[in-house]
Amino acid sequence: MKKVGILYGNIGANTGDLAIGLSVRKILADIGMEFEELVPGRFDPEDYATIIIGGGYLLRPSPDYLFDNFRVTGPHILNSCGIFGFPRDLEYLNDYLYVTVRSSGDKQKLSYLTKEVKVVPCTSMLLGDLPHLDEEVRRGSIAVQLWEGLIDEESLVEYLSSQPFHIYFLPITHYNHDFKYLAKLSQRVKNSSLLPILGPEEVFTLIGKFDYLITASLHGAIFAYVHEVPFILFNSCDKQRFFMEDRKLDGYLFTNFAEMKSTFETLQDIKPDYSTSLHQDFQTLKNHKQTIKDILATKQLVAAGSKLAVTQTEPEDLKTRLHLRNLQIRYLQEQVRALNIHTKGLETSLRVKDSQLHQLQTSLQTSIVMQLLSKYRRVIEKLLRPSTRRRYYYELGLTGIRVILNEGWRSFFKRAKDWLRFRKEKKLVHSDSPRYFETKKEDNIPM
């Protein structure tokens, strides 16, 4: 009997896509259905009775080298997908057993289909918290996830530094290297911490521990929403806007620093109540799971009935035995192909894990170096205060080292000789305070 296949964005380090895959596996495990995870472009749809495609941002205008692999024809299931742009050639979905998208805006984009399209929230909402998570979160905290270029960095750093909260920089969209930008911000924002690169369940669990979230990630917003953590969301494209509009939360979108500041202050003054819309979303997801269960159970019964009918009508002769042997051979061949697909999927997953490990090591090294440098600077600022004799000779020594490294010893000795000559010729100017020390402009001979 053919198995169920699941097809989603499992070939990258996208937290949202990986969370969706976990949720679909959870749905099928809960209803007791065996399944195989498929790798885009590396499977034969004829080998599977039903394929569950999505969710995520998978339906896009064609031609597209990667996302065309998610356009699978046949009697399948579209699982709460998002639609990028306005593709007008998705009529193949009319043959699907069940078509669901994740927002009313996405449904409007499929209005030309004759098939009924239902709105079902992203199934990643079905994830559960991990029972044990090593990362601790202080009380009074803001989680921040943005990527470079969205809003004015200087204004953001100044604003976050003035907040009476501990700031946690949380990477979520690893595919656009947000961890690099957040690492840079963490070195500039007082009272802040940079969190490591985490898996989708870890991110889901951790977000539930914060007091507020400022994010550009749709799934970061979804995870906060599930935990009823107040959040604001950067409106980078229609998927963010669709999610917020369906829940009447579009007043908590922002597109620049001024809007972020105003929206976040409003969020603190008037915390939104998510309970009513959450109840509706979870009821919709419950019905969604039941519909998938009913569809798959019906197809299994039909397949089992057909097999029984063939067995009862065929005579027990050589022809029958040969037919059964051929069926066994075909089954084994299908198993081999399935194992090959699974192996390739594991290889792809291994490459993704290697990439994530490399990114984590890079982030960790950068974080350690920057933390040491930050501590070193704080020590210098404390021991060698500006406008003191100690600070003057410290900076003079650094200047000399730079000359040696960039220009060589000969240049250093020449400049040192000039500096000593000027020191003898010019007198140092002192104020009444014995702690104050400065030189005339002509004494500051750059080395």
Q: How confident is the model at residue 303 (pLDDT cuts 50, 70, 90)?
A: low
What lies within 8 Å, CB to CB, of 131 at 6+ separation is none
**And the tokens for 132?**
């044990």
Whether residue 319 has pLDDT greater than 80: no
Rounded mean pLDDT, 297-320: 55
Rounded mean pLDDT, 416-441: 57
**And the tokens for 244?**
């917020």
At 236-287, the pLDDT tens digits run 999 999 999 999 999 999 999 999 999 999 999 989 999 999 999 999 999 9
287 residue type, one letter: N
Q: What is the pLDDT of residue 88?
A: 93
Q: What is the pLDDT of residue 99?
A: 95
Sign of CA dihedral 410, 411, 412, 418: positive
Q: What is the pLDDT of residue 328?
A: 55
Higher pLDDT, 446 or 169: 169
Q: What is the pLDDT of residue 59?
A: 94
Whether residue 338 has pLDDT greater than 70: no
Q: What is the pLDDT of residue 361?
A: 75
Q: What is the pLDDT of residue 430?
A: 42
Give the three-class secondary structure for 152: coil
d(CA 142, CA 215) in angstroms, rounded, equals 10
Q: What is the pLDDT of residue 323?
A: 55
Q: What is the pLDDT of residue 434?
A: 42
Range with the poorest average pLDDT among 78-92, 198-212, 264-278, 383-397: 383-397
At 340-391, the pLDDT tens digits run 655 766 676 677 777 777 777 777 777 777 777 777 777 777 777 777 877 7
At 144-175, the pLDDT tens digits run 999 999 999 999 999 999 999 999 999 999 88
Q: What is the pLDDT of residue 141?
A: 95
d(CA 240, CA 219) in angstroms, rounded, equals 9
Higher pLDDT, 326 or 2: 2
- Between 389-407 and 409-425, two packed helices, what is the crossing angle to 10 degrees? 150
Sign of CA dihedral 310, 312, 315, 319: positive
Q: Could you write out the three-class secondary structure of 360-378?
A: HHHHHHHHHHHHHHHHHHH
Backbone angles phi, psi at 374, to 5 degrees: -65, -45
H/E run at residue 69: none
Q: Note whether 419 and 393 are within 8 A (CB).
A: no
Percent of the chain having pLDDT more than 70?
84
Q: What is the pLDDT of residue 304?
A: 56
Rounded mean pLDDT, 213-235: 97
Beta bridge partners of 252: none
Whether residue 311 has pLDDT greater than 60: no
Higher pLDDT, 143 or 318: 143
Q: What is the pLDDT of residue 80?
A: 96
Rounded mean pLDDT, 59-88: 93
298 in the Ramachandran plot: left (φ > 0), alpha (ψ -120 to 50) or beta?
alpha
Among the listed residues 225, 202, 198, 210, the one whose alpha carbon sits nearest the alpha carbon of residue 166:
210
Whether residue 38 has pLDDT greater than 70: yes
Range with the poorest average pLDDT among 61-70, 114-123, 340-349: 340-349
Q: In the block, which residue shows the tokens 């559960």?
A: 128
H/E run at residue 7: strand 3-7
